[in-house]
Amino acid sequence: MDRKQQLRNVAFGGAWSEQIAGREAIAAAIETLKRAAAGAARRDPRSPETSSALDLLCKNHPKGVLLRDAWRRGATWEPAPRRIRELARIAGLLAEGHGDAGQKSGNVQ
């Protein structure tokens, strides 16, 4: 049973269960972008998974369109360390925009 279905089955009801699933999806999308940034020297950071994560994170972000375009540009930068720093910076901005205080702009783990 997936997490969304588990939360739907909770007897208490209310919108909080949907909020939990939404926050988990955002956290997973942020992690996807962080991994894509960190691995940008070995893998193309424009994968379908990364595109889905970008769509989710940019949808309600005030500067989502600009950050999505910045990610696409940054994904083509050379050399690889420059590309990694730029993508990590953008991932950090998206994380901060979604209230993820644990993420500072530019951190790559």
Rounded Cα–Cα distance for residues 82 and 45 (Å): 13
Q: What is the pTM of this model?
A: 0.74
pLDDT of residue 13: 57
> Mean pLDDT of residues grouped by 10 in the chain (109 residues)?
60 61 88 96 95 94 94 96 97 89 44
3-state secondary structure string across 87-98 = HHHHHHHHHHHC
Sign of torsion, CA 87 88 89 94?
positive
CA-closest candidate to residue 36, choices 74, 93, 78 = 74
What pLDDT shows up at residue 1?
55
